[in-house]
Amino acid sequence: MSFYAIANGRSIGIFLNWVECSNSVKGYKNASYKKFDTREEATNFINNNTVNGEKKDDADYYVYTDGGCSKNGKAGALAGIGIFFGVDDSRNVSKRIEGKQTNNAAELTAIIETYFIIEKDIVNGKKIVIVSDSEYAIKCVSSYGEKCSKKQWNLDMPNKELVQTAYNMYKDKSNVTFMHIRAHTNGTDIHSMGNDNADKLASAAIGL
Protein backbone atom coordinates (compact mmCIF):
# COMPACT_ATOMS: atom_id res chain seq x y z
CA MET A 1 0.00 0.00 0.00
CA SER A 2 1.17 3.53 -0.79
CA PHE A 3 0.60 6.65 1.30
CA TYR A 4 0.50 10.05 -0.40
CA ALA A 5 1.29 12.83 2.07
CA ILE A 6 0.21 16.39 1.24
CA ALA A 7 1.69 19.14 3.40
CA ASN A 8 0.49 21.99 1.20
CA GLY A 9 -2.40 21.70 -1.24
CA ARG A 10 -6.15 22.11 -1.57
CA SER A 11 -6.50 19.43 1.10
CA ILE A 12 -3.92 18.55 3.75
CA GLY A 13 -3.43 14.99 4.95
CA ILE A 14 -2.64 11.44 3.88
CA PHE A 15 -4.35 9.87 0.88
CA LEU A 16 -4.29 6.25 -0.25
CA ASN A 17 -4.27 6.72 -4.03
CA TRP A 18 -2.74 9.05 -6.58
CA VAL A 19 -6.06 10.21 -8.04
CA GLU A 20 -7.18 11.81 -4.78
CA CYS A 21 -3.70 13.20 -4.18
CA SER A 22 -3.47 14.74 -7.64
CA ASN A 23 -6.85 16.44 -7.24
CA SER A 24 -5.44 18.30 -4.25
CA VAL A 25 -2.07 19.30 -5.74
CA LYS A 26 -2.51 19.61 -9.50
CA GLY A 27 -2.34 23.29 -10.44
CA TYR A 28 -1.88 24.34 -6.80
CA LYS A 29 0.94 26.85 -6.35
CA ASN A 30 3.83 25.62 -4.17
CA ALA A 31 2.17 22.26 -3.54
CA SER A 32 4.18 20.02 -1.22
CA TYR A 33 3.56 16.27 -1.40
CA LYS A 34 5.36 12.93 -1.51
CA LYS A 35 4.65 9.21 -1.79
CA PHE A 36 5.67 6.86 1.05
CA ASP A 37 5.49 3.15 1.80
CA THR A 38 4.33 3.61 5.41
CA ARG A 39 1.82 5.86 7.16
CA GLU A 40 4.45 6.79 9.73
CA GLU A 41 6.77 8.20 7.06
CA ALA A 42 3.89 10.10 5.50
CA THR A 43 2.91 11.57 8.87
CA ASN A 44 6.49 12.62 9.55
CA PHE A 45 6.67 14.35 6.18
CA ILE A 46 3.59 16.43 6.98
CA ASN A 47 4.84 17.25 10.46
CA ASN A 48 8.28 18.23 9.14
CA ASN A 49 6.73 20.55 6.59
CA THR A 50 4.58 22.40 9.07
CA VAL A 51 5.30 24.81 11.89
CA ASN A 52 3.63 23.88 15.21
CA GLY A 53 1.12 21.82 13.29
CA GLU A 54 0.20 24.66 10.95
CA LYS A 55 0.77 24.97 7.24
CA LYS A 56 3.85 26.86 6.23
CA ASP A 57 1.86 29.08 3.92
CA ASP A 58 0.47 32.29 5.33
CA ALA A 59 -3.10 31.24 6.08
CA ASP A 60 -5.10 34.08 7.57
CA TYR A 61 -6.97 31.72 9.84
CA TYR A 62 -8.20 28.18 10.44
CA VAL A 63 -11.78 27.15 11.14
CA TYR A 64 -12.75 23.77 12.61
CA THR A 65 -15.90 21.89 11.62
CA ASP A 66 -17.57 18.79 13.00
CA GLY A 67 -20.81 16.90 12.72
CA GLY A 68 -22.32 14.68 15.36
CA CYS A 69 -25.27 12.32 15.53
CA SER A 70 -26.85 10.37 18.35
CA LYS A 71 -28.33 7.00 17.36
CA ASN A 72 -26.72 7.37 13.93
CA GLY A 73 -28.60 5.27 11.37
CA LYS A 74 -31.39 4.42 13.82
CA ALA A 75 -34.87 5.68 14.60
CA GLY A 76 -34.87 8.82 16.70
CA ALA A 77 -31.45 9.97 15.48
CA LEU A 78 -30.49 13.58 16.15
CA ALA A 79 -27.73 15.34 14.20
CA GLY A 80 -25.99 18.63 14.85
CA ILE A 81 -22.99 20.67 13.78
CA GLY A 82 -20.17 22.48 15.48
CA ILE A 83 -18.07 25.23 13.88
CA PHE A 84 -15.21 26.65 15.91
CA PHE A 85 -13.34 29.83 14.98
CA GLY A 86 -11.90 30.56 18.39
CA VAL A 87 -12.72 30.97 22.07
CA ASP A 88 -15.73 33.28 22.52
CA ASP A 89 -15.79 34.00 18.78
CA SER A 90 -19.22 35.25 17.73
CA ARG A 91 -19.01 33.17 14.54
CA ASN A 92 -18.95 29.86 16.43
CA VAL A 93 -21.93 27.63 15.63
CA SER A 94 -23.72 24.91 17.60
CA LYS A 95 -27.07 23.84 16.15
CA ARG A 96 -29.24 20.99 14.91
CA ILE A 97 -29.44 20.27 11.21
CA GLU A 98 -32.51 19.91 9.04
CA GLY A 99 -33.27 16.98 6.79
CA LYS A 100 -31.58 13.61 7.06
CA GLN A 101 -30.29 13.00 10.59
CA THR A 102 -26.95 11.23 10.05
CA ASN A 103 -23.35 11.89 10.96
CA ASN A 104 -22.23 12.27 7.34
CA ALA A 105 -25.03 14.70 6.56
CA ALA A 106 -23.97 16.75 9.58
CA GLU A 107 -20.31 16.78 8.51
CA LEU A 108 -21.25 18.11 5.07
CA THR A 109 -23.71 20.62 6.51
CA ALA A 110 -21.01 21.99 8.82
CA ILE A 111 -18.76 22.68 5.83
CA ILE A 112 -21.58 24.31 3.87
CA GLU A 113 -22.51 26.51 6.83
CA THR A 114 -18.85 27.51 7.17
CA TYR A 115 -18.71 28.69 3.56
CA PHE A 116 -21.69 30.97 4.20
CA ILE A 117 -20.01 32.45 7.27
CA ILE A 118 -16.66 33.11 5.58
CA GLU A 119 -18.15 34.31 2.29
CA LYS A 120 -16.97 37.92 2.64
CA ASP A 121 -13.47 36.82 3.63
CA ILE A 122 -13.32 34.57 0.56
CA VAL A 123 -14.28 37.47 -1.71
CA ASN A 124 -11.65 39.63 -0.02
CA GLY A 125 -9.00 37.04 -0.84
CA LYS A 126 -8.21 35.83 2.67
CA LYS A 127 -6.50 32.44 2.83
CA ILE A 128 -8.61 30.14 4.97
CA VAL A 129 -8.10 26.52 5.99
CA ILE A 130 -11.13 24.42 6.95
CA VAL A 131 -10.09 21.63 9.32
CA SER A 132 -12.27 18.51 9.54
CA ASP A 133 -11.86 15.02 10.97
CA SER A 134 -14.18 13.61 8.30
CA GLU A 135 -12.30 12.10 5.35
CA TYR A 136 -15.70 11.39 3.83
CA ALA A 137 -16.73 15.05 3.82
CA ILE A 138 -13.40 16.30 2.47
CA LYS A 139 -13.44 13.74 -0.35
CA CYS A 140 -17.06 14.62 -1.18
CA VAL A 141 -16.18 18.29 -1.43
CA SER A 142 -13.07 17.75 -3.54
CA SER A 143 -12.26 14.59 -5.51
CA TYR A 144 -15.65 12.84 -5.34
CA GLY A 145 -17.51 16.06 -6.00
CA GLU A 146 -15.45 16.69 -9.12
CA LYS A 147 -16.12 13.16 -10.36
CA CYS A 148 -19.86 13.56 -9.85
CA SER A 149 -19.84 16.96 -11.53
CA LYS A 150 -18.24 15.50 -14.65
CA LYS A 151 -21.09 12.98 -14.77
CA GLN A 152 -23.64 15.80 -14.48
CA TRP A 153 -24.61 14.46 -11.03
CA ASN A 154 -26.41 11.62 -12.76
CA LEU A 155 -25.58 9.24 -9.94
CA ASP A 156 -27.52 7.48 -7.22
CA MET A 157 -25.62 8.50 -4.11
CA PRO A 158 -26.21 9.37 -0.45
CA ASN A 159 -26.45 13.04 0.51
CA LYS A 160 -26.44 14.04 -3.15
CA GLU A 161 -27.82 17.55 -2.65
CA LEU A 162 -25.40 18.28 0.18
CA VAL A 163 -22.42 17.00 -1.80
CA GLN A 164 -23.42 19.07 -4.82
CA THR A 165 -23.88 22.22 -2.75
CA ALA A 166 -20.57 21.75 -0.94
CA TYR A 167 -18.66 21.07 -4.16
CA ASN A 168 -20.13 24.11 -5.91
CA MET A 169 -18.96 26.24 -2.99
CA TYR A 170 -15.50 24.65 -3.06
CA LYS A 171 -14.64 24.75 -6.75
CA ASP A 172 -12.68 27.71 -8.14
CA LYS A 173 -11.97 29.09 -4.66
CA SER A 174 -8.24 28.50 -4.40
CA ASN A 175 -7.90 30.62 -1.25
CA VAL A 176 -9.93 28.05 0.75
CA THR A 177 -8.24 24.72 1.43
CA PHE A 178 -8.98 21.68 3.57
CA MET A 179 -6.96 19.90 6.22
CA HIS A 180 -7.82 16.48 7.61
CA ILE A 181 -7.15 15.79 11.27
CA ARG A 182 -7.60 12.68 13.39
CA ALA A 183 -10.43 12.92 15.91
CA HIS A 184 -10.21 12.47 19.68
CA THR A 185 -6.42 12.38 19.93
CA ASN A 186 -6.31 14.39 23.17
CA GLY A 187 -3.52 16.36 21.53
CA THR A 188 -2.52 19.78 22.85
CA ASP A 189 -1.56 21.29 19.49
CA ILE A 190 -3.73 24.08 18.12
CA HIS A 191 -5.50 21.89 15.56
CA SER A 192 -6.36 19.05 17.94
CA MET A 193 -7.80 21.54 20.41
CA GLY A 194 -9.73 23.29 17.63
CA ASN A 195 -11.19 19.97 16.54
CA ASP A 196 -12.12 19.10 20.12
CA ASN A 197 -13.94 22.41 20.50
CA ALA A 198 -15.87 21.86 17.28
CA ASP A 199 -16.81 18.40 18.55
CA LYS A 200 -18.08 19.89 21.81
CA LEU A 201 -20.23 22.39 19.91
CA ALA A 202 -21.72 19.62 17.75
CA SER A 203 -22.39 17.45 20.80
CA ALA A 204 -24.03 20.34 22.66
CA ALA A 205 -26.39 20.89 19.73
CA ILE A 206 -27.87 17.41 20.21
CA GLY A 207 -27.71 17.34 23.98
CA LEU A 208 -24.70 15.09 24.43
Q: What is the pLDDT of residues 77-96, one digit of tens each?
A: 999 999 999 989 999 999 99
Say how far apart CA 97 and CA 52 lie, in whole Å: 34
pLDDT of residue 143: 84
Tell me the pLDDT of the chain averaged across its residues.
Answer: 89
Question: What is the Cα 12 distance to its own chain's centre?
Answer: 9
For helices 103-117 and 160-170, give the axis angle rounded to 10 degrees: 30
pLDDT of residue 58: 67
Picking from 6, 8, 30, 25, the residue whose alpha carbon sits closest to that of residue 129 is: 8
Say how far apart CA 183 and CA 196 lie, in whole Å: 8
Set out the domains of the chain in order of their start, with CATH numbers: 1-55 (3.40.970.10), 58-205 (3.30.420.10)
Q: What is the dihedral of CA 116, 122, 124, 128, to 10 degrees?
A: 120
Of the chain, the end-to-end C-alpha distance in Å amounts to 38
| CB 104 within 8 Å of CB 134 | yes
| CB 41 within 8 Å of CB 3 | yes
pLDDT of residue 9: 81
pLDDT of residue 12: 77
pLDDT of residue 158: 92
* Residue spans of the chain under pLDDT 50: 51-56
Give, for 36, the enclosing helix (H) or strand (E). strand 32-36
pTM, to two decimals:
0.75
pLDDT of residue 186: 78
